[in-house]
């Protein structure tokens, strides 16, 4: 299993902390002959560390290229499909598709379409639960707009949740990005919004499970 680079420091720190806690358990429990409790504590610490390692897993995915499709930027479940007005940059009505990631999902993020990064901004903010309607505008988040070769624009936001406390984005204004290339990482539970032209064909529904870089969310109208 390949581990994403964003997890190296956390995995090492967590491992060291687990070893320290185990050492304390050992000195406290062995002297009292509480061997059963020591085994239980050891098993719990080991499972916790394995969970942290697995959180930063980096799966192998076939990179799909289709200029007419907008792919899911993350693993998770669709929680919003509605027409909204974007007042941050595009200033027009767009079809919003939001995907919620639980702490058990892969938390890598992928670029939903190919093109040039026209806009990027990091917004500090709150840490409301990621499915809260106001999380798109009030939570800590990043906003990226990619302009495709056809001139169509797609906006996507990485949004921190109640547990998530760090968003990583590799997007830089002016750079060309490939569809379904890695664009960042959100640590410990969150959500990604994708805003596409409102005349796009919606391909998913509320509650649908999606796979990042593999599941198409919408089909863009041909021009």
3-state secondary structure of 53: helix
CA 43 vs. chain centroid, Å, equals 29
What pLDDT, on the 0 to 100 scale, is given for residue 10? 75
pLDDT digit string, tens, across residues 82-101:
999 999 999 999 999 999 98
3-state secondary structure of 3: strand
Query: What is the pLDDT averaged over residues 169-185?
Result: 95
Q: How confident is the model at residue 49 (pLDDT cuts 50, 70, 90)?
A: confident
Query: What is the pLDDT averaged over residues 74-80?
Result: 94
Least confident of 11-20, 64-73, 153-162, 211-220: 11-20
Residue owning tokens 């669709």? 78
Q: How confident is the model at residue 193 (pLDDT cuts 50, 70, 90)?
A: very high
CA 65 vs. chain centroid, Å, equals 20
Q: How far apart, in whole angstroms, are the C-alpha atoms of residue 95 and residue 83?
A: 4
Q: How far apart, in whole angstroms, are the C-alpha atoms of residue 58 and residue 186?
A: 13
Residue 139 or residue 109, greater confidence: 109
Least confident of 102-111, 173-182, 200-209, 214-223: 102-111
Helices 8-30 and 35-55: crossing angle in degrees, nearest 10, is: 180
Closest CA to 83 of 173, 202, 212: 202
CA 81 vs. chain centroid, Å, equals 18
Q: How far apart, in whole angstroms, are the C-alpha atoms of residue 97 and residue 207?
A: 12
- Locate the DSSP E strands across the chain: 69-71, 76-86, 92-101, 108-110, 115-123, 141-147, 153-160, 166-169, 176-177, 182-187, 190-197, 201-202, 209-210, 216-219
Determine which helix (DSSP H) or strand (DSSP E) holds 22, and give its type and residue range: helix 8-30
What pLDDT, on the 0 to 100 scale, is given for residue 29? 66
Catalytic residues: 190
- Cross-strand partners of 146: 117, 154
pLDDT of residue 3 exceeding 80: no
DSSP for residue 32: T
């Amino acid at each position: 299993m390949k581990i994403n680079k964003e997890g190296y420091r956390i995995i090492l720190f967590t491992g060291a902390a687990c070893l320290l806690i185990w050492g304390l358990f050992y000195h406290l429990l062995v002297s009292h002959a509480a061997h059963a409790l020591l085994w239980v504590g050891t098993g719990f610490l080991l499972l916790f560390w394995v969970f942290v390692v697995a959180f930063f897993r980096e799966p192998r995915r076939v990179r799909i290229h289709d200029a007419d499709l907008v792919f899911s930027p993350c693993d998770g479940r669709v929680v919003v499909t509605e027409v909204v007005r974007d007042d941050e940059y595009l200033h027009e009505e767009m079809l919003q598709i939001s995907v919620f990631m639980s702490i058990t999902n892969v938390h890598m993020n992928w670029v939903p379409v190919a093109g040039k990064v026209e806009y990027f901004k990091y917004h500090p903010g709150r840490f409301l639960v990621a499915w809260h309607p106001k999380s798109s505008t009030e939570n800590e988040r990043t906003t990226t707009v990619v302009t495709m070769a056809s001139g169509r624009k797609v906006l996507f936001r990485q949004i921190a949740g109640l547990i998530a406390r760090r968003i990583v984005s590799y997007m830089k204004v002016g750079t060309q990005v490939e569809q379904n290339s890695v664009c960042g990482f959100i640590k410990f539970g969150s959500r990604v919004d994708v805003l596409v032209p409102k005349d796009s064909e919606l391909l998913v529904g509320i509650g649908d499970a999606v796979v990042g870089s593999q599941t198409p969310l919408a089909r863009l109208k041909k021009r």
